[in-house]
Amino acid sequence: MHDEVQLSPRERLALLQIEANLYQDRGFARRMGVVRDRTWLPASVVLLAAASAFAAVMGVRTSEPALLWCFALLWPLTLFQAFRLLCRAARPRSRRSGTRPTSWL
């Protein structure tokens, strides 16, 4: 596809700015197959689950209301992030993205 066209530095900068603006649109980036770093969601689910479990166990063992409130605040966040992760895993992938069913496996 490279047909020996030379762009000036100004034209290259303009092209890079146009591409950056286009990739700000998540739907467009997804359709174009741009893969972003997707390790934050699984990591957040693991960390929130560990923090929720710790707050629940320590709250029950010590009967400390602050720990129980921490659990009450962390658990819905954990469920929400886990739901987002499951939705991502269940989303159909195109054949171009690779042989693995999800990008985090």
For 61-83, the pLDDT digits (tens) are 999 999 999 999 999 999 999 99
Q: pLDDT band at residue 105, thresholds of 50, 70 and 90?
A: very low
Is the separation of the CB atoms in 82 and 46 below 8 Å?
no
List pLDDT tens digits, range 6-60.
Answer: 888 898 899 888 888 887 777 777 777 766 666 788 999 999 999 999 999 999 9
Residue among 91, 48, 90, 44 nearest 73 (CA): 48
- pLDDT, residue 22, reads 81
